[in-house]
Structure 1
């Protein structure tokens, strides 16, 4: 039976989304069996298991991980093979892509890179790993990218409500804005000027699939703040997702993951968190185009009728 000399269970590599949580500490465990083979895992072996294989001292190896990752990579030994699992942490579908960072005499079935679509809160085996030549050992290291949304989604025509409870409004940056709306996931986003604490409303019926509410800083340092903001992501029945971002620190999120909301229902408070020039609400309708998050054009109605969403309006 082949035994890997190195089994690495790393923190996830996230796809580029508007908000990704800060890293925190995690642990890997390393031990050596009676045959001198070194093993790695995301948990220490039980006393009985350690005794059965003659494992010596179990050493702890700290590493950095993402506490709010949308998916978790998990590797499970199954006889002479390893099952690479993906666990979806969101209340909505996601797509994952698994690949080797390093592989020595190890092959995946299906071959890596391999992709899978997971239902809300679901788990799936993305690939089964085994030795190409069973007569000798091998080692491998995996990474996994994750993107919210189902790539099979088919957006339908829909009318969106103004996502703020205010009579007077101003669009500071519309479709294709040069400051921060040049990337595909934000190209059709709209930034509404809004004082901190302005009620944020659901623009369309849906299910809360993801929230971030623990960030309290803002600034124009793209490297430091570019992927951070408090936000709510709502999944619509056609598979599209609305993103409400830069919400107020502390109490800016007023809904929970998995909650069903109706158009016009309050979901939060506007704020100034993340990569931001000042208080505003960033709103976008996004879809997964196959491991690629993209924003799409949408129609929106305000107190005075249909809104013009392109460019900037003062």
Structure 2
């Protein structure tokens, strides 16, 4: 039997983590220049002359894999999910000749962290003839929520008694006109301002290796961000954060009001600010949903453009945050 097997990887937007490195250059006592990407080696030579540090371009890191097991003539497939939370995966043939899948493809599967059970098996329609196939898949972070309704309100993601102005709110004309950002807010604040979790949950992503920012569209996917999964399946995204200042890591449990990072100006941005949104997986797409902040009187209020957002202590939130 002749088998030709090809697997193509198609990854959906916002489903990649990033890994960044530095290039260290130093000059030894003989005047010879050395280059390394090993931080330990750079630390050992930190007292050498003219130690220079250059941030290297961030490389994407894949966290969801379609893998094969079983017999070559009857391959089985499963997903390895390296996120700290669930993902939804859509799998289909991109090419097929004399093969069938059991259960049939296309199919969508919700996969918790780790390795899934076998999702499907491939068999030849006619065992006496050659067969070939190519598979494609894409994934989106989070469990599917087709009818989401939240009763939660959120702490302002800033220090108690601090105040910063909202420069863009729901439906903002500059950059809040797609489904992922329709119900987002931009909060003006200087680079290095502490950012706090607005609601408790589990950290899914903590990207802090991007170092560029500006209004060029090439920076759209280069905003440092932290994504936190809540117990109702929604996710808060905190974006445009400062380079290498994340205070949390994937898989870490955080409480509402906990320091998670510092504001920056990375990614597609007109100036230093924090981008905050609550998103869900709906139909294999990340979409933002309306939310309310808790004000200093303990009331739930919808964020409005030009309004000054004031931080409150977690002890004053009562039962407003789930």
TM-score w.r.t. length of structure 1: 0.78
TM-score w.r.t. length of structure 2: 0.76
Of residues 252, 255, 267 in structure 2, which corresponds to 1:274? 267
Q: Cα–Cα, structure 1 residues 124 and 282, in superposed 2: closer, same or farther, change >3 Å?
A: farther
Specify the alignment match of 2:142 in structure 1: 149
Specify the alignment match of 1:129 in structure 2: 122
Instruction: Output the CA distance in 1 between the equivalents of 2:128 and 2:118.
Output: 26
Instruction: Output the CA distance in 1 between the equivalents of 2:111 and 2:155.
Output: 30
Cα RMSD, aligned residues only: 2.4
Q: Cα–Cα, structure 1 residues 78 and 147, in superposed 2: closer, same or farther, change >3 Å?
A: same
Specify the alignment match of 1:3 in structure 2: 2
Of residues 236, 241, 244 in structure 2, which corresponds to 1:242? 236
Instruction: Output the CA distance in 1 between the equivalents of 2:63 and 2:188.
Output: 29
Q: Cα–Cα, structure 1 residues 110 and 74, in superposed 2: closer, same or farther, change >3 Å?
A: same
Q: Cα–Cα, structure 1 residues 79 and 16, in superposed 2: closer, same or farther, change >3 Å?
A: closer
Question: How far apart are residue 120 of structure 1 and its match?
Answer: 2.4
Q: Does 1:74 align with 2:73?
A: no
Question: Any unmatched runs of 5+ in structure 1?
Answer: 25-65
* Contact map agreement 1:92 1:121 (CA 8 A) in 2: no
Question: Any unmatched runs of 5+ in structure 2?
Answer: 21-58, 309-322
* Contact map agreement 1:299 1:306 (CA 8 A) in 2: yes
* Contact map agreement 1:248 1:270 (CA 8 A) in 2: yes
Specify the alignment match of 2:205 in structure 1: 210
For 1:1-314, what aligned pairs fall within 5 Å after superposition? Answer: 2-5=1-4, 7-10=5-8, 12-17=9-14, 20-21=16-17, 67-152=60-145, 154-165=148-159, 167-222=162-217, 224-251=218-245, 253-303=246-296, 306-311=300-305, 313=307
Instruction: Output the CA distance in 2 between the equivalents of 1:295 and 1:267.
Output: 21
SS at match of 1:196: coil
Instruction: Output the CA distance in 2 between the equivalents of 1:187 and 1:229.
Output: 17
Length, aligned pairs only: 267
For structure 1, which segment, 105-114 or 119-128, has the greater mean C-alpha deviation from structure 2 after superposition? Answer: 119-128
Instruction: Output the CA distance in 2 between the equivalents of 1:221 and 1:130.
Output: 48
Instruction: Output the CA distance in 2 between the equivalents of 1:23 and 1:73.
Output: 21
Q: Cα–Cα, structure 1 residues 131 and 308, in superposed 2: closer, same or farther, change >3 Å?
A: same
Question: How far apart are residue 298 of structure 1 and its match?
Answer: 0.7
Question: How far apart are residue 106 of structure 1 and its match?
Answer: 2.2
* Contact map agreement 1:247 1:273 (CA 8 A) in 2: yes
